[in-house]
Amino acid sequence: MSGTDTDIWTAIATGTGCGLVIIDDAGLIEYMSSELAEVSGVKAEQVVGKPWSDLVPAADTAIVDGDDSGVGLIDTTPVLAKVNFYPVGSEVDNSGRRVGVLRLSSQYVDYGEVFPFAVETASGIPSRRAMFELVESQLACQNRYQTPFSLIFLRIKNYRTFIEALGTEGWENTNRAVYDQLDSITRMADSVGLYDEATFWMILINSAPEGTKVTAEKIKLLAGAMKIDALDLFLSVAVAGVMGRPEEDSEALVQRGLVKLDKALDATSGMVVEE
């Protein structure tokens, strides 16, 4: 693989937030992105030129069409079993050069504690722990590749009213409905989860301040338009967004976002986004 090809694949992996691996027609690894290396714990320089089957011997590397049900794993690299392969070229068969894609999003929760984006909520929504791990990963990418990202918080202000009327189980169903709506408007590389019982987080990859503001406005309109029919009551929400800073750690960034959220709760507009 030429240096130009490597630069292109690296730019794609960084820009989309996906983990990528390129395999030649003999099944040998030509390229592995730093994102995939980081979450799998496998160093790219140690595996380039070696068979993919040595890493995931039980994996089915047949070409799939949008199916995220990758099979086969070994104890040291379970994340690699979620890589799906697609043809490089027009021939859709099981031979030839292939690109493997791992979408690093909140949807990958199958492996619990082993997987970096594990969930802790009873309803299967990515948790606070998942958020911190994603923030740490994005800060590392920002330091390495200068890739901007942002963290958005959405707070449901009148949640206590719903809990009192619907009970805890009813509120969990409401949270699931909100999560599904937020997840439906995100890009493939972005992630959504639950910070606490009434606060959602969203991480936007490769997002500048203006794009973050537009997305925050969209989130506020979407969530604020949601109505709980059983109570004939709309959700009242506040939204805040902050940009990642290379000099910060994950704790500092999250706390800065929560401070902005407190300000958004008091603001007439219900929204505060860092310029």
Q: CA-to-CA distance for 16 and 35, rounded, in angstroms?
A: 10
**Tokens 């619990």 correspond to what residue?**
112
For each of the chain's 275 residues, which pLDDT tens digit applies? 676 778 888 888 776 667 889 998 888 999 998 878 776 777 888 889 999 888 875 444 443 433 333 322 233 345 677 788 888 765 555 557 889 887 654 443 333 333 444 444 556 788 888 899 889 889 988 888 888 999 999 999 999 999 999 888 888 889 989 999 998 888 877 889 999 999 999 999 888 899 999 999 999 999 999 998 888 899 999 999 999 998 899 999 999 999 999 999 999 999 999 97
Which amino acid, one-letter code, is at 1? M
Angle at CA of residue 231, ends 229 and 237, nearest 5°: 85
